[in-house]
Amino acid sequence: MSASSTTPIRFAVLGCGRIGTMHAEMLSRRVQGAAVSVVFDVVDAAAAAVADEFGCGVAASLHDAVTAGDVDAVAICTSTDTHVDAMVAAAQAGKDIFCEKPISLSIAEVDRGLAAVEAAGVKLQIGFNRRYDPSHKAVADAVQHGAVGDVHLVNIISRDPGPPPIEYIKVSGGMFNDMTIHDFDMARYVTGSEVVEVYAKGAVRVDPAIGEAGDIDTAVVLLTHANGVLTTIDNSRRAAYGYDQRVEAFGSNGKAASDNTHQFNSVLATEQGYLRPPLENFFLERYARSYLDQWAAFMSYVRDGGPSPATGADGRAPLVIGTAALRSMQENRPVQIAEVDKEIS
Amino acid sequence: MSASSTTPIRFAVLGCGRIGTMHAEMLSRRVQGAAVSVVFDVVDAAAAAVADEFGCGVAASLHDAVTAGDVDAVAICTSTDTHVDAMVAAAQAGKDIFCEKPISLSIAEVDRGLAAVEAAGVKLQIGFNRRYDPSHKAVADAVQHGAVGDVHLVNIISRDPGPPPIEYIKVSGGMFNDMTIHDFDMARYVTGSEVVEVYAKGAVRVDPAIGEAGDIDTAVVLLTHANGVLTTIDNSRRAAYGYDQRVEAFGSNGKAASDNTHQFNSVLATEQGYLRPPLENFFLERYARSYLDQWAAFMSYVRDGGPSPATGADGRAPLVIGTAALRSMQENRPVQIAEVDKEIS
Amino acid sequence: MSASSTTPIRFAVLGCGRIGTMHAEMLSRRVQGAAVSVVFDVVDAAAAAVADEFGCGVAASLHDAVTAGDVDAVAICTSTDTHVDAMVAAAQAGKDIFCEKPISLSIAEVDRGLAAVEAAGVKLQIGFNRRYDPSHKAVADAVQHGAVGDVHLVNIISRDPGPPPIEYIKVSGGMFNDMTIHDFDMARYVTGSEVVEVYAKGAVRVDPAIGEAGDIDTAVVLLTHANGVLTTIDNSRRAAYGYDQRVEAFGSNGKAASDNTHQFNSVLATEQGYLRPPLENFFLERYARSYLDQWAAFMSYVRDGGPSPATGADGRAPLVIGTAALRSMQENRPVQIAEVDKEIS
Amino acid sequence: MSASSTTPIRFAVLGCGRIGTMHAEMLSRRVQGAAVSVVFDVVDAAAAAVADEFGCGVAASLHDAVTAGDVDAVAICTSTDTHVDAMVAAAQAGKDIFCEKPISLSIAEVDRGLAAVEAAGVKLQIGFNRRYDPSHKAVADAVQHGAVGDVHLVNIISRDPGPPPIEYIKVSGGMFNDMTIHDFDMARYVTGSEVVEVYAKGAVRVDPAIGEAGDIDTAVVLLTHANGVLTTIDNSRRAAYGYDQRVEAFGSNGKAASDNTHQFNSVLATEQGYLRPPLENFFLERYARSYLDQWAAFMSYVRDGGPSPATGADGRAPLVIGTAALRSMQENRPVQIAEVDKEIS
């Protein structure tokens, strides 16, 4: 066995909230060849709890964490508005970077972060975990391997089991940037083609308080890709029957589609019919394996090189699509991606 | 048993092509309380063959057929461009009318036909057979009975197993009027709400010859209903795996969805996975029962009164939506139904 | 087109009860190349009603029916105890024979009938319609074509939606001869191998009145085939969720399995879970297509020759197995088919 | 929060093979309120590796492990022939016990172990993990809560993806004690009723080497329960399509059934049909959650008392059934459990 496969990759985990704790646990215990050297959180107690649980150090500052000598790579799991500063610091320290989505709600900030990464020549992978969900991945693979033939249509259904707190909604950047961003990425991932036009409709149907906070909770988006594929996205903040996540790619040879996981696989059949349990409740259950496979992809990318499984450009594009979607909804017209891109640059 | 249930309703079947022959067979043999007195077709041999098979008379003219003394009701199954003349003739003869869809490709003509029906006070049912498909009907019933709660989103997938001949495409009135018309009706039927806005994208992906004939073979349409529901429609002229017909209504309490029928219900499980057969091939198989249940609805409507299961207005509305969809696609903008309606009247 | 494919095969239908009427309708109207010349029933009015409906003659006696000059083939749909007399009469008249199952409850009588058929050299097909059910047939085909590999195990689940009237139970010949007979045939059909040993357990769980009538309503039977395959059969007279009919063949390459048809293909998903409708209620719905395909097989057999799709031996074997099953249950021991066969001959 | 819920239960894990390592990992990291104080294995290096990975001590002997002051409970994961010695030692040390199945291949030894547990008054739970599989548990719960009504029939299908090494087969105690034991337990668990009679058929169909080793690889077993339920068990050592684990309980109100988990939830639909991936490969994947829920049940049992989720009697009964099954197969006759029980005592 070569040294490269036996020397662990040592991580600094930035942010010890729900998602940062999950990543720290995986990197400490379940990702082959990974180790956590140090964690950091602006809330000292949060960092201390994670360090205690997983037996790693606590950094006094984000800067200390990313520059530590026993750190090879940085996992950015802080709040969205601090991602780019962390990315720049890690890049300047020469560390490879995993960054949770979205990189930033500001495309200008995104560009600042990506420029720092490019200047430093470090590796970067954005946390679009759904790409590693085995069911969705099977759809993308079927497209890529030609099993679907020329792709004509893609349908993405993405419905949460319940809305987040209103306080979160207010700082979320809006449904398109917070929730649909995953679907924008899925559309690009499955088709392998850039989006060139967006038409979006939104509504407040789940909770009036979401509307009062200036956001929507129900949406349909129609994307036109550079290769002519038409993608529909269907979103809701609340599906009574669980977390509904489906992707279907239709083309000249047929279709590939992912389906949901029920809470368990049983059925009760009576005079009323056949009853199966609701769907798995939310992303930590449904996407558990995708998070692990995402880390396996990162490890392989850092060790063996090759293209990033989810590049900085992959992190940027959905934010541009989200901007176009918001404008489309507000002005009730299809919006070209080029129109938004021109204004940014 | 009362006289009304024992005296048969006697039909004139106009048009002895594929669909007319199917209706003549059902009315002769399988619809309780129905009988066919006479058939008519502009091709004498076609009428004679049907009359011979099912033991009924042949009319010398359409006029003779609709005015015959032993005819209570008329089934209009001729080519689309002759529907309205037949409808006017039948109405003036005081006969109840079943008319295949579309009533006409010209909305002015539709209005002429509906005016004659109204003036005569006869009954009219339009042939939107999919309303009687038990699977789709279960979706509409779940909505109507409140099981879905407030409806937020509807998804309709409607993909044919293969395109019709180019000669048919040329006179079809275009994909929206020929194929999507069923889905426009389904959207109104399932939601119980009028469409107020249409946004449509179309493409030629299946066969360039369809594009050369001035039509499309692939489409996505987004409908906004008066009650705020958003409906997506996804169409293709060719699904390699069979006739794909699905409707899903999503709302505050969950969802109701119809699924396809496979050619048969078996599975082969090997190292490669679990293989089920493709879908039933086309509408005569998939919708066989819906045609019978459509006739049962007509019989009950004629005998017992009440609202038509599919009114003249139900026949007209999808044509207006289709006109709006075509304009939306051509001008790449959302089109209000009111805009089209204003121009017509 | 050759004469053989254009000249119809003309039938006498014997017995105008539920199943005879169904066959008369199919042969009159839906089986390509078939016609009904005459029908007979011991109840004159029953024969007259069928003759009136389908436009054929009424025979004054069974003998007249089978010897009529315009009759090529005979469909025996009378009560079970008269099958063999009808079979002998038809054979002696030189007519090809379709005979409903069971041929007789007496194996000696069966042998008398089959001897007459053999002596006359006429064709004979027994009405094991489930062989033509497309789902079960796909299982048998997968076995025959090698897709399952060497077959090791077969599971047959066969549960009725509700028991027949007690009066019927009393003359039915018992559950094994009346209901399980189909499964004994299925086991032989799917495996292509004779049964050599039977072990059976029965119980009265559905209705004590069935027990009082000397029968059972719940059973499990284990068959050992000559080629070593083990088949389990699971029977109940009452499944609350509908007519449950499943066959699974497991072998070295995997498995082939047939599944049920639900009343329609829709689902309602709420907080309680995903609810599909119950199964199709009974054999006239579930096996509708199998009855038609059975006639297609008969037509082809009579016209083109080759082996019978369900021979006299196929009709006899399940009765021997049923006899062995009854003895096994009564004596609680495995019973060899050879033991029963020896006693008969 | 009370002390009882905050003070961890400290374990000695005996045996550091595949299953012991899995339990040590769960108890160290994933079972709320559990901790591992010490591990033991007859192979020093195996114990050292586990101790190093999970940060616990290594005991010099099994006796040291079970008597250690910082040990509250013992997990017995050693080879089957040493289970009872470990159980007796742990009981005499006053420690609560989790013991992997089977307790022993010798019923006399089982009785020695259970006597020691009873004398010491310690708690005992046998490792029938499938009871905690959410899908199978839903079947048992549906029975227990009356949703199935009076149970009439139970079908258990249990097929491994591939046979173990021949060396393992030779010391396994035979298929009934090694593999079917889980299904015997499932039958008792789902029905809540003791088995009173067994009829078993076995065959060598997967690999002749298994037959040469004196074992079988294919079996069908028919159990009769005290309450009249009939259970069929269908076993194979090799299912080409993956690990096939299904349980169905049928009764007066309908049925409850568990189904398998596919490797992922996607489908590829082409002209050939609809293809889903094979099943999850084996028990560590399929039953991952059941192992965790088994520990949750143990923790609750030790902390809160109540009946054991899987008692010593539950561990003993399947071994008696297995003995009866082997005799039934060898002598080709149904064997009463009472017959075997009488010989043992």
Q: Is the pLDDT of residue D239 over 90?
A: yes
Q: What is the tens place of the pLDDT at every residue in C236-273?
A: 999 999 999 999 999 999 999 999 999 999 999 999 99
Q: What is the mean pLDDT of residues D128-132?
A: 97
Which chains have 3+ CB pairs within 8 A of C?
A, B, D
Provide, as residue numbers in chain D, all residues whose Cβ is less than 8 Å from the Cβ of B240: 269-271
Taking the C-alpha atoms of residue D284 and residue D19, their distance in angstroms, rounded to an integer, is 9
Tell me whether B155 touches chain A (CB under 8 Å): yes
Provide, as residue numbers in chain C, all residues whose Cβ is less than 8 Å from the Cβ of D224: 201
CA distance to A179, A202, A230, A339, B241, per residue, from A328 (Å): 17, 10, 16, 11, 35
Tell me whether B264 touches chain D (CB under 8 Å): no
Q: What is the tens place of the pLDDT at every residue in B284-327?
A: 888 999 999 999 999 999 999 999 999 999 999 999 999 999 99
Mean pLDDT score across all residues of chain A: 96
Gyration radius of chain C's alpha carbons: 21
Proportion of chain C above pLDDT 90, given as a percent = 94
Provide, as residue numbers in chain A, all residues whose Cβ is less than 8 Å from the Cβ of D270: 147, 253-254
* Residue A4 pLDDT level (bands cut at 50, 70, 90): very low
Proportion of chain A above pLDDT 70, given as a percent = 98
User: Is D155 close to C152, i.e. CB distance below 8 A?
Assistant: no
Please name the residue of chain C whose CA is at the shortest distance from the CA of residue A281: C271
The one-letter code for the residue type at D149 is: G
Provide, as residue numbers in chain A, all residues whose Cβ is less than 8 Å from the Cβ of C277: 273-274
Closest chain B C-alpha to D262 CA, distance in angstroms = 9
| pLDDT score for D281 | 85
Q: Which residues pair with D14 in a beta bridge?
A: D40, D76
Tell me whether D277 touches chain B (CB under 8 Å): yes
Q: What is the tens place of the pLDDT at every residue in D63-84?
A: 999 999 999 999 999 999 999 9
ipTM: 0.94
Q: What is the tens place of the pLDDT at every residue in D293-315?
A: 999 999 999 999 999 999 999 99
| pLDDT score for B3 | 38
Which residue is associated with the tokens 């020691």?
D116
Tell me whether A63 touches chain B (CB under 8 Å): no
Q: Is the pLDDT of residue C2 over 60?
A: no
Q: What is the mean pLDDT of residues C225-236?
A: 98
- Pick C153's closest partner by Cβ from D220, D240, D252: D220
Higher pLDDT, residue A275 or B171: A275
Gyration radius of chain D's alpha carbons: 21
Nearest to D176 by CA among D6, D23, D320, D8: D320
Q: What is the mean pLDDT of residues D20-41?
A: 96
Please name the residue of chain D whose CA is at the shortest distance from the CA of residue A25: D29
**pTM for the full model?**
0.95
The DSSP element (H or E) to which B176 belongs, if any, is none
User: Is C261 close to B256, i.e. CB distance below 8 A?
Assistant: no
Please name the residue of chain B whose CA is at the shortest distance from the CA of residue A162: B252
Interface-testing mutation among C150, C232, C265, C330, with chain D (most D C-beta atoms within 10 A): C232
- Pick B275's closest partner by Cβ from D240, D262, D275: D275
| pLDDT score for B6 | 66
Q: How many CB atoms lie within 10 A of CB D307?
A: 7
Provide, as residue numbers in chain A, all residues whose Cβ is less than 8 Å from the Cβ of B206: 152, 252
Interface-testing mutation among B154, B193, B232, B245, with chain A (most A C-beta atoms within 10 A): B232
Taking the C-alpha atoms of residue B271 and residue B273, their distance in angstroms, rounded to an integer, is 5
Taking the C-alpha atoms of residue A297 and residue D97, their distance in angstroms, rounded to an integer, is 41
Q: What is the DSSP letter of D262?
A: B
Q: What is the tens place of the pLDDT at every residue in C97-143?
A: 999 999 999 999 999 999 999 999 999 999 999 999 999 999 999 99
Which residue is associated with the tokens 């399988």?
B30
Provide, as residue numbers in chain C, all residues whose Cβ is less than 8 Å from the Cβ of A245: none
Give the angle B8-C53-C126 at the CA atoms, nearest 5°: 140
Higher pLDDT, residue B139 or C281: B139
Q: What is the mean pLDDT of residues A280-284?
A: 84
Longest dimension (CA), chain A: 67
Closest chain C C-alpha to D197 CA, distance in angstroms = 11
* Residue A1 pLDDT level (bands cut at 50, 70, 90): very low
Token couple for C93: 């008249």
Name the stretches of chain B with pLDDT < 70.
1-6
Closest chain C C-alpha to D313 CA, distance in angstroms = 27
Please name the residue of chain B whose CA is at the shortest distance from the CA of residue D263: B273
Nearest to B156 by CA among B126, B177, B182: B182
Count of residues for chain D? Answer: 345
- Pick C254's closest partner by Cβ from B55, B260, B269: B269
Provide, as residue numbers in chain A, all residues whose Cβ is less than 8 Å from the Cβ of B201: 222, 224, 230
Residue D161 C-alpha from the chain's centroid: 18
User: Is B206 close to A252, i.e. CB distance below 8 A?
Assistant: yes
Which chains have 3+ CB pairs within 8 A of B?
A, C, D
E-assigned strand segments in B131-229: 151-159, 195-203, 218-225
User: Is D220 close to C220, i.e. CB distance below 8 A?
Assistant: no
Indicate the range of A112-116, B328-332, D3-7 predicted with least confidence: D3-7
Q: What is the tens place of the pLDDT at every residue in C145-192?
A: 999 999 999 999 999 999 999 999 999 999 999 999 999 999 999 999
Token couple for C153: 């195990």
Q: What is the mean pLDDT of residues A138-154?
A: 98
User: Is A273 close to C269, i.e. CB distance below 8 A?
Assistant: no
Interface-testing mutation among B136, B150, B266, with chain C (most C C-beta atoms within 10 A): B266
- Pick C152's closest partner by Cβ from D150, D224, D236: D236
Please name the residue of chain D whose CA is at the shortest distance from the CA of residue C241: D254
Interface-testing mutation among A28, A261, A266, A292, with chain D (most D C-beta atoms within 10 A): A266
Q: What is the DSSP letter of C164?
A: P
Tell me whether B273 touches chain D (CB under 8 Å): yes
Tell me whether B48 touches chain A (CB under 8 Å): no
Tell me whether C305 touches chain A (CB under 8 Å): no
- Pick B269's closest partner by Cβ from C255, C269, C277: C255
Tell me whether C50 touches chain B (CB under 8 Å): no
- Alpha-carbon torsion D88, D90, D95, D100, what sign? negative
The DSSP element (H or E) to which A125 belongs, if any, is strand A124-126
Q: Is the pLDDT of residue A200 over 50?
A: yes
| pLDDT score for B1 | 32
Provide, as residue numbers in chain A, all residues whose Cβ is less than 8 Å from the Cβ of B252: 205-206, 238, 240
User: Is A276 close to C274, i.e. CB distance below 8 A?
Assistant: yes
Closest chain A C-alpha to B239 CA, distance in angstroms = 6
User: Is C222 close to D206, i.e. CB distance below 8 A?
Assistant: no
User: Is B157 close to A155, i.e. CB distance below 8 A?
Assistant: yes
Provide, as residue numbers in chain A, all residues whose Cβ is less than 8 Å from the Cβ of D264: 134-135, 137-138, 258
Indicate the range of B331-340, C56-65, C274-283, D212-221 predicted with least confidence: C274-283
Provide, as residue numbers in chain B, all residues whose Cβ is less than 8 Å from the Cβ of D272: 275, 278
Q: Is the pLDDT of residue D3 over 50?
A: no
Taking the C-alpha atoms of residue C85 and residue C99, their distance in angstroms, rounded to an integer, is 11
- Pick C256's closest partner by Cβ from B253, B268, B271: B268
